[in-house]
Amino acid sequence: MTNSFEKHGVTHLSYSQASMFIADPARWLLSYVYKHREPSNAAMERGKAVETGVEHWLKEEFATLDDAIFEAEKAFNKATALLCTNEEREKELKNIAGMTTEAIDALKGHGEPDTYQEKIEVFFDDIPVPVIGYIDWTFTGKIVDLKTTTRMPAAMSAAHRKQGALYRKAKGNYAVEFLYATPKKSEIYTLENDEQDLKELHRAFVCMGRLLGISNDREEIAALLCPNYDSFYWSNQQTRNKCREVFGV
């Protein structure tokens, strides 16, 4: 029998889906049931580019910091060539060298990763579809995930704690570290007790299934929700326009 997720074309879940659903169920419905895909932006591509540069340094035994920065900036320029304005590109391009440098400095001493971008699938007994994620790097007994930001957080974010809890469920007793890199400094936060985070993650998935189980008609489900435009999830004008089509406000 087709479950409520599959009836609405949701074949898998992720920690980012859970975070979006918790913040604004209407935004989640728009993305994963109505299949609205928001275009990438310069900040997102900056993060991917820094990761590209760091991975070049990790993989190439004789790679220098300059090599890593070159690869990161090249990846960013290619990805954003037709994506955004020159002003947006230049703003983020200025951050890449510093972020790449800080991330590499923080990883010195970790050794060579065992895996890069390892795909994980996690199953919960009462969730009929898999939860999928991708781990940046695993070292011996340790998971490290890179986050680039222009402002250093005082602690690991709630969303990232849930991400780390999912990783730990997939990998067992691995330590989970989040490496935050700004253009001027880096910080590593280690996930401590993830029991509550995993419960909250699971609860979000259960609520998604219950919401979708109300009706086979996505419009009936949309009629039950109201978007919260104060959320950063609605910052893209194209997405806001699509939302008004679906939710009528």
The one-digit pLDDT tens for each residue of the chain (249 residues) are 469 999 999 999 999 999 999 999 999 999 999 999 988 899 999 999 999 999 999 999 889 999 999 999 999 999 999 888 889 999 999 999 999 999 999 999 898 999 999 999 999 999 999 999 999 999 999 999 999 999 999 999 999 999 999 999 999 889 999 999 999 999 999 999 889 999 999 999 999 999 999 999 999 999 999 999 998 899 889 999 999 999 998
CA distance 92 to 42: 6
Q: Residue 168: which residues within 8 A CB-CB, separation 6 or more?
A: 143, 174, 176, 191, 194
**CB-CB contact of 240 with 229 (8 Å):** yes
Angle between helices 42-59 and 86-107 (to 10 degrees): 30
Question: Which CATH architecture describes the domain 10-38+114-247?
Answer: Alpha-Beta Complex (3.90)
pLDDT score of 4: 95
What residue spans of the chain are helical by DSSP H? 4-7, 15-23, 25-32, 42-59, 65-80, 86-107, 158-171, 195-212, 218-222, 237-247
**CB-CB contact of 177 with 144 (8 Å):** yes
User: In this structure, what token pair is assigned to residue 236?
Assistant: 């893209």
pLDDT score of 39: 85
CA distance 11 to 104: 36
**Beta strands 175-181; 142-148: pairing state:** parallel
DSSP 47-73: HHHHHHHHHHHHH-TT--HHHHHHHHH
Specify whether the backbone of 64 is left (phi greater than 0), alpha (psi in -120 to 50) or beta.
beta
pLDDT score of 2: 64
pLDDT score of 85: 87
**CB-CB contact of 212 with 20 (8 Å):** no
pLDDT score of 154: 96
pLDDT score of 170: 95
Amino acid at 49: A
CA distance 10 to 7: 8
pLDDT score of 1: 45
Domain ranges of the chain: 10-38+114-247, 42-107
pLDDT score of 183: 98
